[in-house]
């Protein structure tokens, strides 16, 4: 029997437990809420919001406000300075650094010991459990898994307290047993210089029997490209004959699928989407033939949802999981074992099924670009343009931006279509100033721009006069309250405008 055949038995009990997601979703979620409230009732936040006397969901929702990061930031900063029992019992030592808000370059998401085990690691284990259930001939544990991670640094110089990428936190705390089946070594995995890290990972793994990959598609593709450069091979299965699955998440996989299929031509290669974020692990693709994901209901997270057609209004119609409808767009709200209470995550989802609860990610609550993990928001764009205009004397009347996805050399960039009322003397300098300011405003954008490894310098295309108004007129949206989409994660709008711009030059 193969090693995988032996290990498979470890997951049989959990595979059986997951069947409860089919018919018992509401029961599972009510029990999660009960546990969360009981565990946190003696925290400062729990006492202030009457967790100890809550009899169920209605009491919890009545006594606890819906929060954004700004509402919880003060408490989180106190926790980062070492205070105990604020949002979650005890002292929280780890903080996942995520992209910023309107007011801050970065968010710092608390990651408690409870959250590590019952929220983040549990999701990784379930990904394997579901994959093995769906692939009885798998031999993934007969080789090693290539897991990409970020880096971390001291948190306010407090002893044993660190801040960094969630992936780095997970690698730092992973059980030693798991290190037997993963690469690269921890020292390489936690390097902060991605250019050096990428090369070391490629050299460490080229001669290994790699059977599975885990990471963000854009970052992983960059590493695999380096592996191919070092080995001189054409296809990845020539380097790793046993490669069989890529557990991917963080950004949409669709723009990268064709490149991966060209790189890995084996008919036995599988792809499994995961929905894991700094705030928690929320979903898994449990059926390879279904693009939607199963919402994980028995972790340390309680879900609520805000219909997007009511989002931003004074009276939010927040509903628990058992109140959602299929086909409707919702903003996700979470309460977790890391101390986030009724926290607006920023992602939007639509349910494809409620028995079991399955969903697709539909976007963000705000206009954004997150094609490569950069999470660029409109406020970043507005501030960046204002800075570039102030430095060059330019004036911008309209703009939109979208990603240019990776080519066969794993290169990508943001493309900005800008209509100037006063053109800068040097477009190249304007682009450089904008790019630099965006890095100052957004730590994720800054990380992806590092040494042009994942994201290259942005490109500016000048729009002819009145292009944006002509596009709105063409769409029947000129006038009224219709607005130009500023940032988009797809190229649909950009391609329409670029075509219209080129037609006027013909």
**What is the average pLDDT score of the chain?**
92
- Whether 362 has a pLDDT exceeding 60, the answer reads yes
3-state secondary structure of 314: coil
299-337 pLDDT, tens digit per residue, is: 999 999 999 888 877 777 899 999 999 999 899 999 999
Q: Which pLDDT does position 364 carry in this prediction?
A: 80
Give me the pLDDT at residue 478, please: 62
- Cα angle, residue 377 at apex, residues 373 and 381 outer, rounded to 5°: 115
Q: Between 236 and 101, name the one with better pLDDT.
A: 236
**What is the widest separation between alpha-carbon atoms in the chain?**
72
Dump the DSSP string for 449-483: HGGGSSSPPPEEEEPPTTHHHHHHHHTT--STT--
Cα separation of 218 and 252, whole Å?
10
Residue 43 host element (H or E): none
pLDDT at 61: 97
What is the model's pTM?
Answer: 0.82
pLDDT tens for each residue of 441-488: 999 999 999 889 889 999 999 999 999 989 988 887 665 555 778 999
52-63 confidence digits (pLDDT tens) = 999 999 999 999
**Tens digits of residue pLDDT in 421-435:** 899 999 999 999 999
Closest CA to 32 of 276, 299, 296: 299
Type and span of the H or E element at 214: strand 210-215
pLDDT in tens, 12-51: 999 999 999 999 999 999 999 999 999 999 999 999 999 9
CA distance 285 to 287: 6
Residue 104, SS3 per DSSP: coil
Q: Which of 338, 360, 373, 296 is nearest to 125 (CA)?
A: 296
Query: Nearest-CA neighbor of 184 among 169, 199, 195, 173?
Result: 199
- For position 54, what pLDDT does the model report? 97
Residue 284: pLDDT band with limits 50, 70, 90: very high
């Amino acid at each position: 029997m193969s090693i995988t055949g032996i290990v498979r038995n470890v997951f049989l009990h959990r595979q059986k437990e997951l069947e409860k997601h089919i018919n018992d979703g509401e029961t599972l979620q009510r029990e999660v809420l009960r546990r969360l409230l009981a565990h946190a009732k003696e925290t400062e936040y729990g006492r202030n919001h009457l967790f100890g006397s809550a009899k169920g969901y209605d009491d919890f929702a009545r006594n606890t406000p819906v929060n954004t990061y700004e509402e919880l930031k003060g408490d989180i900063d106190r926790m980062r300075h070492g205070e105990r029992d604020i949002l979650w019992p005890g002292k929280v030592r780890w903080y996942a650094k995520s992209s910023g808000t309107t007011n801050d370059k970065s968010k710092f998401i608390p990651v408690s010991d409870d959250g590590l085990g019952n929220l983040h690691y549990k999701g990784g284990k379930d990904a394997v459990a579901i994959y093995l259930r769906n692939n009885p001939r798998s031999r993934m544990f007969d080789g090693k898994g290539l897991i990409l991670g970020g880096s971390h640094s001291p948190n306010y110089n407090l002893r044993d307290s660190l801040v960094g990428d969630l992936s780095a936190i997970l690698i730092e705390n992973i059980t030693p047993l798991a290190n037997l089946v993963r690469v690269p070594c921890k020292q390489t995995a936690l390097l902060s210089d991605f250019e050096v890290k990428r090369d070391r990972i490629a050299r460490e793994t080229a001669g290994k029997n790699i059977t599975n990959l885990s990471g963000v598609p854009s970052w992983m593709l960059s590493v695999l490209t380096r592996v191919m450069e070092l080995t001189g091979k054409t296809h990845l299965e020539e380097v790793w004959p046993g490669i069989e699955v890529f557990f991917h998440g963080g950004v949409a996989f669709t723009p990268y699928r064709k490149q991966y299929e060209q790189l890995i031509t084996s008919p036995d290669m599988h792809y499994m989407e995961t929905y894991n974020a700094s705030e928690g692990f929320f979903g898994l693709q449990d059926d390879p033939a279904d693009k939607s994901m199963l919402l994980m209901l028995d972790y340390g997270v309680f879900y609520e949802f805000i219909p997007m057609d009511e989002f931003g209004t004074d009276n939010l119609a927040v509903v628990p999981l058992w109140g959602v409808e299929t086909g409707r767009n919702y903003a996700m709200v979470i309460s977790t074992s890391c101390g986030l209470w009724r926290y607006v995550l920023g992602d939007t989802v639509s349910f494809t099924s409620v028995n079991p609860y399955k969903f697709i990610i539909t976007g963000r609550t705000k206009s954004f670009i997150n094609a490569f993990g950069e999470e660029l928001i409109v406020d970043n764009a507005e501030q960046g343009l204002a800075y570039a205009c102030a430095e060059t004397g330019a004036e911008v009347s309209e703009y939109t931006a979208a990603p240019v996805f990776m080519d066969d050399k794993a290169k990508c960039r943001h493309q900005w279509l800008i209509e100037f009322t006063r053109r800068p003397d040097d477009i190249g300098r304007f682009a450089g100033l904008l790019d630099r300011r965006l890095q100052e405003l957004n730590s994720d954008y800054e990380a992806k721009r590092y040494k042009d490894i994942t994201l290259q310098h942005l490109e500016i295309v000048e729009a002819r006069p009145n292009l944006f108004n002509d596009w709105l007129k063409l769409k029947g949206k000129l006038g009224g309250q219709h607005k130009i989409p500023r940032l988009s994660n797809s190229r649909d709008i950009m391609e329409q405008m670029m075509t219209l711009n080129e037609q006027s030059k013909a």
